[in-house]
């Protein structure tokens, strides 16, 4: 079955966890809000129940503010 409950994890270029979220705002949706410096990052999206498929949308936004080094 297709499952809507996701877990997301954001990693830096050394695969160190920067942030992780399961249920944002008392929902089954996941969200990470973070300001990031320039660089390479990895986002892993997976179903909370690992024996099911996941139907998901991933959105990225770029803020108007400059991120300090």
Q: Which two tokens stand for residue 26?
A: 């008392």
Are the C-beta atoms of 20 and 9 separated by less than 8 Å? yes
Mean confidence (pLDDT) of the chain:
75
What would the two tokens of residue 23 be?
């249920």
pLDDT value of position 19? 92
- What's the average model confidence in pLDDT over 15-35? 84
* φ/ψ (deg, to 5) at 25: 55, 40
């Amino acid at each position: 079955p297709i499952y809507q409950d996701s877990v997301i994890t954001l990693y830096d270029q050394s695969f160190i966890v920067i942030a992780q979220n399961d249920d944002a705002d008392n929902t089954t949706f996941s969200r990470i809000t973070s300001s990031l410096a320039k660089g390479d990052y990895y986002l892993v999206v997976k179903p909370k129940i690992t024996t099911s498929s996941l139907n998901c949308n991933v959105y990225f936004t770029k803020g108007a503010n400059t991120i300090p080094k």
